[in-house]
Amino acid sequence: MKLEKVLVVGAGTMGHGIAELFAMAGYQVYLSDVSKEILDNALNKIKWSLDKLQEKGQLKESTSSIISRIKTIIGLNESVSDADFAIEAAIERLDLKRQIFSKLDELLPQHSILATNTSSLPISKIAEATKRQDKVVGMHFFNPPVLMQLVEVMKGDKTSDETAKITYELAKKLGKTPIMINKDVPGYVVNRILGEIISASCIILQKGIADYLTIDAVAKYKLGFPMGIFELLDYTGIDVNYYVSKSLEEYGIKSPCSALFEEKVKKNELGVKSGKGFYSYPAPGKYSKPEIPQELADKLDPVLIIALGVNEASRLFRQGIVSKEDIDLGVKLGLGFPKGIFQYADELGIDNVVKAIQSLSIEEPDRLLLDMINEGKVGVKSGSGFYEYGKVEERKLNTLIIRIEPPLAWVILNRPERLNALNMELIVELNKALDELENDSRVRVVILSGSGRAFSAGADVTSFLTLKPIDVIRFRSLRELTNKIQFYTKPVIAAINGYALGGGLEIAMACDIRIASENSTLGQPEINLGIIPGAGGTQRLPRLVGKGRAKLLIYTGDMVSAKDAYKMGLVDLVVPSNRFEEEVRRIALKIAEKSPLSLLAAKLAIELGYEANIFSGEYLESSLFGLLFTTKDVEEGVKAFLEKRKPQFKGE
């Protein structure tokens, strides 16, 4: 079917943007609303938007040419009767939408498709007002339509496959990325998942597990959301969210946030629009970014925030309503999440997601999640979850456990009965393991950790009694090991889970990043044995914490807590012990997504430049910067940026 003329009903926030999109794509557009004032205001906004796009060189023709294709219509009458496609963008009232669709059914030809931009109401209920239910479809744009890439296309109970397909292809012609929803579900997909994330946040708040500031800190700094949950509620309007939650209750979807929202609405604390919501703003309608302290992000497990969203996504996927790929694409494009909801689930662990759902005590875990756990498919750590990550391989050597879970490799010091004390056998095995992993193309990031209660408590003191001074000088294996780690061609993370003392801390200091569990203890206690650090401790420690503090630690032999180590710069991050491995994995996976070549260049520029004067360092940096432009990874990075997608770096 050839579409030439499009009718947009409703010229408000969404309607005028949708009309602009169609006109930009070359369609003749009727824009209808109840008054000339509303329509004139809409045209002014369209002109302003087009002028901005033209300034940026994003238009192929003039603003006046595009606007000339938009004809405004007061009300609905015979003048729109030749429209091939109509989309309604009126306020969220079912009775009003049914009236509009009944009128459209009378006015438009039988071949015309009738679409609704509703974000919460059932398509099928709207379609019942017409005699062409097979030609009624949901076409949900995100605000602002001109800029937001996602369009959700949703079938009603009687929408034909042909109608859905035409609408899907039409969204692509508008330059948008559509996803297909095969069954009528209130709230479509993206808003249902967001709604569950908001619900979880309300439950966490109401149960006293964490306050709203902590929840927002975790959402922004751990999960990477563009806004905190309560910051987003303020921005969109707490009253809007309240009325949406009340309308969904009519369809059996009860929100645990209703009481919280109702209390805010009664106080006229509506968010940005009233100047106060969960946060305070300079004036009504004037948004300013709230201050959300980053240090609060370690006080709440991020899986609690996202668990109910995963549960909803799992149900939608299991019931065949939408594909998992479209679900993940939807949350990335529609909500600005850096990862899809199923990618989060795989990284956090599906077993941990189910525990979080159960702890929130609002709904049962979806059957698919339970089945996956029974099958051992719990995400990245098992090599399989909603996605495949390659088979997890684990080898046990005499002193090490090597676990490869592409793109990560864990090297676990495994002498727990000796607190992973370093002996010659362990050093030799660790050297060899690092050499093998450096040449393994599956591995992007290496994580060093320890089994039991320690990362490593240092050198095995029992071997000291037989050593002679010349033996110690010749004993350079540990020093060579720390130098190898410092200039290793892949990022190395020290996951400090317990004691990191003496030679163990020296190994950790050679790593690129040090992440400690909150119960860890660090120190250079060699002075207590009448010796000094011998594998770079007197050199790396001052570079990390300063000469004075380094001398204090080395001279006294005192040990410090993870918290104090973080304050002085000895460790880069401290995380709760009960989710230590998940946090380390999350950060390692984030690094592993980057170009291996740019990571190596950055490492060399920092490590070598730090030891040189700033001018030599800058010259090295610019040389490496220029060299990267000869790589395919840069081509991929630029192309992905322009195409607004995640780059797939190959290290080429």
Rounded to whole angstroms, the Cα distance separating 194 from 336 reads: 11
What's the burial of 265, exposed, middle or buried (CB within 10 Å: 0-12/13-18/19+)?
Answer: middle
**9: β partners:** 32, 88
- Report yes or no: 213 and 279 within 8 Å, Cβ to Cβ: no
Q: Describe the crossing of helices 614-628 and 596-611 by its angle, rounded to 10 degrees.
A: 170
DSSP state of 289: P
| Virtual torsion, Cα 303, 335, 245, 100, nearest 10 deg | -160
Angle at 76 between CA 72 and CA 78, to 5 degrees: 95
Sorted by sequence, the CB contacts under 8 Å of residue 646 that are 6+ apart come out as: 593, 640
Sign of CA dihedral 262, 265, 270, 276: negative
Which pair of tokens denotes residue 325?
């790929």
- Report yes or no: 408 and 389 within 8 Å, Cβ to Cβ: no
What is the DSSP annotation of 171-217? HHHTT-EEEEE-S--TTTTHHHHHHHHHHHHHHHHHTTSS-HHHHHH
- Report yes or no: 8 and 30 within 8 Å, Cβ to Cβ: yes
The β-bridge relationship of strands 136-141 and 113-116 is parallel
- Report yes or no: 477 and 429 within 8 Å, Cβ to Cβ: no
Q: What is the Cα Rg of the chain in Å?
A: 30
- Report yes or no: 452 and 499 within 8 Å, Cβ to Cβ: no
Give yes or no: 506 in active site.
yes
Rounded to whole angstroms, the Cα distance separating 488 from 510 reads: 10
- Report yes or no: 329 and 273 within 8 Å, Cβ to Cβ: no
How far does CA 585 lie from the centroid of its chain? 14
Which pair of tokens denotes residue 262?
């109702």
Helix (H, G, I), strand (E, B) or coil at 234: helix
Rounded to whole angstroms, the Cα distance separating 59 from 25 reads: 10
Catalytic residue among 152, 405, 506, 621: 506
Which pair of tokens denotes residue 649?
């770096």
Sorted by sequence, the CB contacts under 8 Å of residue 356 that are 6+ apart come out as: 301, 303, 304, 307
Number of residues assigned to the chain: 652
- Report yes or no: 297 and 217 within 8 Å, Cβ to Cβ: yes
What is the DSSP annotation of 578-607? GGHHHHHHHHHHHHHTS-HHHHHHHHHHHH
What is the DSSP annotation of 430-459? HHHHHHHHHT-TT-SEEEEEESTTEEE--B
Catalytic residue among 269, 429, 526, 582: 526
Q: Is the peptide bond before 407 cis (omega within 30 degrees of 0)?
A: yes
List C-alpha distances in Å: 369 to 242, 340, 345, 386: 30, 16, 10, 10
Q: Describe the crossing of helices 258-266 and 190-206 by its angle, rounded to 10 degrees.
A: 80
Host H or E run for residue 32: strand 28-33
Give yes or no: 618 in active site.
no
- Residues annotated as catalytic are 506, 526
